C-alpha cells in the first residue's frame, strides 16, 4: 500500500496540530518526525517532548527518524512519548542488531536508515529484523534539498534483495521526494513516501498531499 509519511520538519511549528490535521485530510497516513541532535547532522530539531505533544493531537502512527548519536540512550524516552516506529541511521549504530532489538523490546517497529554514500549491501544482515528500510535520497540534516537520482537504483536493488531473501519489510524513501520525483521511486519499489516541503507549501497542504498521492498511486498502478 502506498502511503504518504508527511514530514513535519516543513510544517509551521506554531500550528503543528492544525498542520497535521490538514495533511491527514489530504490523505497522509503517517507522521514523519525528524529528530536531529546537532552532532550526527549539522542541525537541531526536536525530541521526545514534541513527540508526546504530537501523540496527543493525532491517532496516526508516528514514524521517528533519529538522526542522532547514541540512539540507544534515547529509545526508551521515544517509546514513552508515544512513537510507533523508530528508524536509526546505520552510520550511528555500533551494535545495530542490539539497537533494533531494543526498539522492538520497547514495543515499537524497528527500522534502519542508510545514507546516500553507503552501499545498500551493508544492510543484508539486519533485513530480517526490520519493519522497514529508509533509503535517504538526500544527505540528512535539512528539508528542501534536491533529490539524488541514484536513489532510484538503490531502491530497486533493495527490492531485489527483499525478493531474493523472501522477506516483506517495507521500503521508505526520504529527501527531495516531490511531485516530479515520486513516480520514479514508486516504480523502483518504495511504498512509504516521506515528503516535507512538497506537502507543506504555504496554504495548500491539503491539495499538495492529494496531488502527491494521486501521482504516486498512478505510478503504483502502472507498476502493478
Ligand atoms: C532530511 C529529513 C527529511 C526532510 C525531507 O534530513 O530526514 O525527512 O524533512 O524534507 P523534503 O521533503 O523537503 O526533502
Ligand atoms: Zn526524515
Alpha-helical segments (H) within the chain: 16-25, 48-55, 75-81, 96-105, 151-165, 182-188, 205-223
Query: Which numbered ligand comes closest to the C-alpha of 85?
Result: 2
20, 93, 113, 213 from 153: Cα distances, Å = 32, 25, 16, 22
Indicate the pTM of the whole model.
Answer: 0.98
Is pLDDT of 141 > 90? Answer: yes
CB distance 172 to 193 below 8 Å: yes
Residues 191-224: tens digit of each pLDDT: 999 999 999 987 899 999 999 999 999 999 887 6
Residues 49-98: tens digit of each pLDDT: 999 999 999 999 999 999 999 999 999 999 999 999 999 999 999 999 99
**DSSP 3-state assignment of 222?**
helix
How far is Cα 110 from Cα 128, in angstroms, rounded to an integer? Answer: 11
What positions carry a catalytic annotation?
A: 34, 174
Instruction: Compute, in angstroms, the gap from residue 221 CA to the centroid of ligand 2.
Output: 26
Instruction: Compute, in angstroms, the gap from residue 46 CA to the centroid of ligand 1.
Output: 14
Query: Which numbered ligand comes closest to the C-alpha of 138?
Result: 1
Instruction: Compute, in angstroms, the gap from residue 121 CA to the centroid of ligand 1.
Output: 23
How far is Cα 190 from Cα 171, in angstroms, rounded to an integer? Answer: 5
197 C-beta closer than 6 A to ligand 1: yes
Mean pLDDT of 16-41: 98
Nearest alpha carbon to residue 34 among 80, 70, 86: 86
CATH number of 3-223: 3.20.20.70
198 C-beta closer than 6 A to ligand 1: yes
- State the pLDDT at residue 224: 65
How far is Cα 163 from Cα 93, in angstroms, rounded to an integer? Answer: 26
CB distance 99 to 72 below 8 Å: yes
Position in ligand 1 atom list of the atom nearest CA 144 = 13
194 C-beta closer than 6 A to ligand 1: yes
Amino acid at each position: 500500500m502506498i502511503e504518504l509519511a508527511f514530514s513535519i520538519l516543513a510544517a509551521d511549528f506554531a500550528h503543528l496540530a492544525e498542520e497535521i490535521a490538514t495533511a491527514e485530510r489530504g490523505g497522509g497516513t503517517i507522521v514523519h518526525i525528524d529528530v536531529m541532535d546537532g552532532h550526527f547532522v549539522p542541525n537541531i530539531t526536536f525530541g521526545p517532548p514534541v513527540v508526546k505533544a504530537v501523540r496527543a493531537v493525532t491517532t496516526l502512527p508516528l514514524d521517528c527518524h533519529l538522526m542522532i548519536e547514541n540512539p540507544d540512550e534515547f529509545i526508551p524516552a521515544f517509546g514513552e512519548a508515544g512513537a510507533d516506529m523508530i528508524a536509526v541511521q546505520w552510520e550511528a549504530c555500533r551494535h545495530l542488531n542490539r539497537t533494533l532489538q531494543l526498539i522492538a523490546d520497547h514495543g515499537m517497529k524497528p527500522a534502519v536508515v542508510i545514507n546516500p554514500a553507503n552501499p545498500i549491501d551493508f544492510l543484508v544482515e539486519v533485513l530480517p529484523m526490520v519493519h522497514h528500510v529508509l533509503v535517504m535520497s538526500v544527505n540528512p540534516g535539512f528539508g528542501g534539498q534536491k533529490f539524488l537520482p541514484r536513489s532510484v537504483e538503490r531502491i530497486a536493488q533493495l527490492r531485489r534483495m527483499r525478493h531474493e531473501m523472501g522477506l516483506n519489510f517495507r521500503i521508505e524513501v526520504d529527501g527531495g521526494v516531490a511531485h516530479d520525483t515520486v513516480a520514479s521511486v514508486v516504480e523502483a519499489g518504495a511504498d512509504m513516501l516521506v515528503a516535507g516541503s512538497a506537502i507543506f507549501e504555504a496554504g495548500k497542504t491539503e491539495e499538495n498531499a492529494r496531488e502527491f498521492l494521486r501521482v504516486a498511486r498512478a505510478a503504483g498502478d502502472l507498476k502493478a
